[in-house]
Structure 1
Amino acid sequence: MSAGNLATAGLTKAFGGVRAVDDATVEFHDGKINAVIGPNGSGKTTFFNCVTGMIRPDSGTVTYGGRDVTGRAPHRIAAAGIGRSFQLCRIFPRMTVRENVLAAVRPRGMAGLLRSAHDAGDVERARGWLRRVGIDHLEDVEARNLSYGQQKLLELAGVLMAEPETIMLDEPAGGVNPALIDRIAALVRELNAEGRTFIVVEHNMELVMSLSDHVVVFDRGRPIAEGPPDTVRADPAVLEAYLGV
């Protein structure tokens, strides 16, 4: 399924005099579960935003499967095969769960959304992903009435509706109860076993170390270490920068 490696070279983004991402050169492992960790303010989400077209980098490149996708609009990044979730869930609170997932097909305008809502194939696919994440019983509930953890699952179902080869998750465990964290982790493992690549920003170190194949550590806007979880956990630079040892 995978379209190839996602990589950056010299990626840089400054806000005023502060380099939120500073000459970041990273290559994520295709077909694996990659994690991006680091202290608050280390540039992880800004890095995600540069990669997915939410903001334009000042310099450097983003390549996916050998193609330069630097600075492309978010919908073009998505069309290339990269899906993402956000640190704070992006859902339509007054739309039903099913309508939210159908909206992720990215129809143009309200007329397109209405057409999608009545397309039997799209509706069945949406219900399939809702079953997969475990909230199909809530398909007619307005999204605002879901728990925060359920909203995270809804957002993930919307990401999956676009059938991405690579999925970037920004703090999927943030604010989620332990039972739902276990469900999200199990789902990530299942989807990865089916061929999808994951890149996960996460502060829950227990989850990172148990879930990831490859870990990249950011500090002050740039990667300072990478490797298997056990190697990264023992790296003196990581202990100093991230764990304060």
Structure 2
Amino acid sequence: MNGGTPMSGRDAKQPEGSLQTSGLTKSFGGVTAVDGVTVSFRQGKVNALIGPNGSGKTTFFNVVTGMIKPDSGTVTYRGRNLTAKAPHRIARAGIGRSFQLCRVFPRMTVLDNVLAAAQPKGLKGLGSGHGKAETEKARYWLTRMGIEHLEHAEARNLSWGQQKLLELAGVLMTEPELILLDEPAGGVNPALIDRIADLVRELNAEGRTFLIVEHNMELVMSLSDHVVVFDRGRPIAEGTPDVIRADERVLEAYLGV
């Protein structure tokens, strides 16, 4: 296999705002983590979602991807209502995601981890076997990540950064149009951060949209086309990196100025 894998005939040229929320709200007890969020992200671009700790970014991800049901509001993707759908339904709609803490099977090989990610039933699906084409596809993504030499290693023996790459390979097995990355650079050494950044650029150039939650501002500003800033569960600013750098509300809320 060479070059990029096809995106199942999906049209990558969609109007802006392919992922949208309207009045999205989620509370835990007396704390409102996501507070009536109405926001639109850009199709075909690298979007970033930033904000101080506790501003609701990961909860927003979890609601959008069906991990948590919202109290109110809607989530739509390319005009399709995905509000409170199960995670596997979200994935079938063309949305993939990674997690702040890598979700890998530590005692399984790297190759089997990627194959399991492509199974509708996850780990249970491996029992039904997999074909040559699927294995070649898994090896293709491991090669794209630069960890093909580790395919027989157990995932627990990989570095944290390598586990991030392994998780991304698994996400890509389902050929998502939109990829949500939760702190891809967290705990990763600088060389692998550069590798992750290069991969995001390459995959975006191939037609995939990204939405990234990240605290590494150098990475965010160098990668992103569009940035949304959260504070206390709601957006306070959005725009290009240059616009965000100069926004006084962002300096006050995020940078503590």
TM-score, normalisation: structure 1: 0.97
Q: Give the match for residue 243 of structure 2.
A: 231
**Amino acid paired to 1:184:** I
**Amino acid paired to 2:30:** G
Q: Give the match for residue 3 of structure 2.
A: none
Structure 2 residue ranges without an equivalent (≥5): 1-10
Note the C-alpha offset of 1:107. Answer: 3.7
Structure 1 residue ranges, 4+ long, deviating more than 4 angstroms after superposition: none
1:194-233 pair list within 5 angstroms: 194-233=206-245
Q: Give the match for residue 37 of structure 1.
A: 50
Note the C-alpha offset of 1:108. Answer: 3.1
Cα separation, partners in 2 of 1:27 and 1:15, compared to 1, 3 Å: same
Equivalents in 2 of 1:173, 1:145: separation in Å? 19
How large is the RMSD of aligned CA atoms in angstroms? 1.2
Aligned equivalent of 2:30, options 17, 24, 45 = 17
SS at match of 1:53: coil
Note the C-alpha offset of 1:105. Answer: 1.0
SS at match of 1:215: strand
Alignment of 1:46 with 2:56, yes or no, is no
Equivalents in 2 of 1:106, 1:33: separation in Å? 27
Cα separation, partners in 2 of 1:230 and 1:105, compared to 1, 3 Å: same
SS at match of 2:181: strand
Note the C-alpha offset of 1:234. Answer: 0.5
| 1:172-198 deviation line (CA, Å, top 9, x unaligned) | 000000000000000000000000000
SS at match of 1:55: coil
TM-score, normalisation: structure 2: 0.93
**Amino acid paired to 2:52:** P
**Amino acid paired to 2:139:** R
**Amino acid paired to 1:140:** H
SS at match of 1:181: helix
Equivalents in 2 of 1:121, 1:114: separation in Å? 17
Q: Give the match for residue 2 of structure 1.
A: 12
CA contact (8 A) 1:37 1:217 kept: yes
Equivalents in 2 of 1:207, 1:184: separation in Å? 10
Aligned equivalent of 1:177, options 176, 185, 189 = 189
Q: Give the match for residue 116 of structure 2.
A: 103
